[in-house]
Amino acid sequence: MAPPMDVNQQTAADMGAARSRTSISVQIVRNYLYGGQKQWDLRERLEKILIQEQLFGKQQREFLGRTDQYIRATAITNRLNELRRIHSWSAEEYNTATSLLSEILPISLHDVAFQPVFLGQGSPALMENYWDLVNEKGIQGCYLQTELGHGTNVARLETTSTYIPETQEFEINSPSLTSTKWWIGALGKSATHGAVQAKLILPNGKDTGPHLFFVQLRSLEDHKPLPGIIVGDIGPKAGGGMAAQDQGFARFDHVRIPRTNMFSKFAEVTKEGNYIQPPHAKLSYGGMMYIRAGMIPSAAWTIARAATVAIRYTTVRRQGELDTNGLERQVLNYPSTYYRLLPILSRAFVLIELGRYTVKALDEMQQRLANRDTSLLPEMHALLCGLKVLVSTHGVSDIETARRSMGGHGYSAFAGLGRLYIDYLPAATFEGDNFVLDGQVVRAATKLCNAVLSSTSAVTKLPPPSAYLRLLSANSTPAPVTASTWHDVSSVVFLLEWRAALMVKNFTQTQGKAEVDANINQRLAKAVTEAFVAVQVGEMINNLTTLPSEDANVVGRLYRLYLLTTAESALVDLFSVGLIHPTGAGDPTQDLRLAIKALCLGILPNAIGLTDAFGFSDWSLDSALGVSDGRVYEALWQRV
């Protein structure tokens, strides 16, 4: 047995040894993740400013009750705005600073939901009167959609906005308890104004469905609710989640607003009370689509945090069997640990890149929308539904997997992942319940599949998210799966495309003829979205040639790990549609499983380097188990 070494020194030595094994350039991979040295420098420059603010320290946060957390968030918001003015931050700088804080702030709903509605759907008159106030946060907005009785099914919202031609006003009304606006972020205490979703009722009694209206909620004098409006906080959330966010409710008792307060860039009501239709029913989806697209990088960086903490801790935590040095093995070196954690690392990398792609595609669509060209809308909508489900599902489970890989200490608040989880959790439900969104993905896929199947010639112009359907019209057959399949990127991508194509085809041909099982939407949507992402990952691997070869090698392994673990989780599908057959020569899944293990072992020496490349400071991670120097026991002791 080796001479006894102080365990704290050992943790530091283990971390040092892991760093010295790193074969990639952390700086180069970091710049790759951030999209360039410039973005990183911006981030670093801003973090230096933020770190100096004692108010922004997180160490006492776990000891605060909900009210104190809200007060702290408000103080942070005010100071952040002061800093914005002091340093004359641009919108990009302000947004970067906000994301660096990684705090739940009520103002975020203003920034992410309210302000974009103004920008995207405000009429020229509304913009002229209010934009400066909105932009300078002279008023604080919120976005009132969900009601007590209705969330996902927006078409059935009960709140009404009835046009009164005599006074040229709308009358906002909550006709029932269940029509109470509910879960509205920043409404409980903070917001002064809101964008209210309400059914627009014309003077002839016609209900034209939900539209958005700009409504002042509270007085700018004393912050009291305006006459006819009841507002309040809906209470604490599960596990103390989003404690600093004041989700609230609101009821309207025949509240009048001027006609010009309708967000009328697309649909309008004339002075006389005539309705002018928008050019496309889904034109107002733009804002929601940006929010969903933003969920991709947000999931990615959240997963990156969890991966960093767990990989650092399991690198220095030793437990169980003795290794060749007579020390207990590092927990990360157990197959059951790296098999859980390295796929999480790979998802963080993939989703960071994927987020960049998606926002770019969305910008393109938005530009077309500005010219009232809606051709990209339906496909983009279905894609974003699928991606939202994919990233939020991974986000929730990856944080928890990372937390659990840390054993008992992972349950300590000082590990930092408990809060990360509970605050991230609602992502699976908000912006469309994942199970409902799956249905939208399937609807779009079957519609296009029907078109492909009924077309006599090969369909040449499939939109990118549905490119996998080309396989059905190409008279091609899938290549048989062999051991070498798993070592060839394009083979795996093809396999995942074939899986989606065959599953969607089987379903489309069955529809109305035979019964389908209860879980079909979930399996189909997953297959469709994963096929799209697999193609993107193939692209990402091709694009790695811009990096030095060792960096490209290692990041390439991560991307391949993503593809293989996707295939592993799709094994039942691959069997079901006949893409993998038993060969009679042993377990047909074994080649894939061993390929995953080999990739993991190839990545393992760079695990610490790759997490360092995310660039999180100890201040930002705020985790005793994720400290950069590895001295986890001292960090834990210090917090206690």
Q: Which residues are catalytic?
A: 431
Measured from the CB atom, is 168 or 576 closer to its own copies? 576
- Residue 173 backbone dihedrals phi, psi, to 5 degrees: -145, 145
Q: Is 509 in the site for its own copies (CB under 8 A)?
A: no
Residue from 191, 351, 387, 425 that binds its own copies (CB under 8 A)?
A: 425
Q: For 330-338, which contacts have Cβ atoms below 8 Å and span 24 or more sequence positions?
A: 330/14, 331/405, 331/407, 332/604, 332/607, 333/604, 335/597, 335/600, 337/405, 338/600, 338/601, 338/604, 338/607
Binding segment toward its own copies, per CB under 8 A, in 100-108, 125-133, 404-412, 609-617: 404-412
Burial call 272-311: b when 16+ CB within 10 Å, e when fewer:
ebebeebebeebbbbbbbbbbbbbbbbbbbbbbbbbbbbb
**Helix, strand, or coil (residue 283):** helix
Q: Is 482 in the site for its own copies (CB under 8 A)?
A: no
The interface with its own copies within residues 114-153 (CB under 8 A) comprises 146, 148-153
The interface with its own copies within residues 551-570 (CB under 8 A) comprises none
Look up residue 114 and give its DSSP letter: I
Quote the least distance from Cβ 10 to its own copies, whole Å. 9
146 appears as a binding residue in the annotation? yes
Q: Which two tokens stand for residue 273?
A: 């009370």
Residue from 419, 499, 526, 557 that binds its own copies (CB under 8 A)?
A: 419
Q: Is 605 in the site for its own copies (CB under 8 A)?
A: no
**CA separation for the pair 80, 98 (Å, rounded):** 8
Judged by phi (left if over 0) then psi (alpha if -120 to 50, else beta), residue 36 lies in: left
Q: Is 415 in the site for its own copies (CB under 8 A)?
A: yes
Quote the least distance from Cβ 88 to its own copies, whole Å. 38
Quote the least distance from Cβ 160 to its own copies, whole Å. 13
Q: What secondary structure does DSSP assign to 570-633, as a single string?
A: THHHHHHTTSS---SSS-TTHHHHHHHHHHHHHHGGGHHHHHHTT---HHHH--GGG-TT--HH
Q: Is 101 in the site for its own copies (CB under 8 A)?
A: no
Q: Is 485 in the site for its own copies (CB under 8 A)?
A: no
Q: Which two tokens stand for residue 276?
A: 């002018």
Is residue 4 within 8 Å of 585, Cβ to Cβ?
no
Residue from 339, 462, 467, 602 that binds its own copies (CB under 8 A)?
A: 339
Quote the least distance from Cβ 258 to its own copies, whole Å. 30
Binding segment toward its own copies, per CB under 8 A, in 213-221, 461-469, 511-519, 538-546: 511-519
Q: Is 58 in the site for its own copies (CB under 8 A)?
A: no
Binding segment toward its own copies, per CB under 8 A, in 208-216, 272-280, 421-429, 448-456: 421-429
Measured from the CB atom, is 194 or 538 closer to its own copies? 194
Of residues 287, 303, 294, 268, the one with CA closest to residue 170:
268
185 appears as a binding residue in the annotation? yes
Binding segment toward its own copies, per CB under 8 A, in 195-203, 227-235, 297-305, 531-539: 227-235
Output the CA torsion 60→64→69→73 (10° steps). -20
**Helix, strand, or coil (residue 457):** coil
The interface with its own copies within residues 292-321 (CB under 8 A) comprises 319-320
Q: Is 209 in the site for its own copies (CB under 8 A)?
A: no
The interface with its own copies within residues 574-593 (CB under 8 A) comprises 575-578, 580-582, 586-590, 593
Enumerate the H helices of 104-152 as residue ranges: 107-109, 115-121, 124-135
The interface with its own copies within residues 168-207 (CB under 8 A) comprises 176-178, 180, 182-183
Q: Is 426 in the site for its own copies (CB under 8 A)?
A: yes
Residue from 436, 451, 459, 462 that binds its own copies (CB under 8 A)?
A: 436
Measured from the CB atom, is 222 or 321 closer to its own copies? 321
Question: Which residues does the annotation place in the binding site for FAD?
Answer: 146, 185
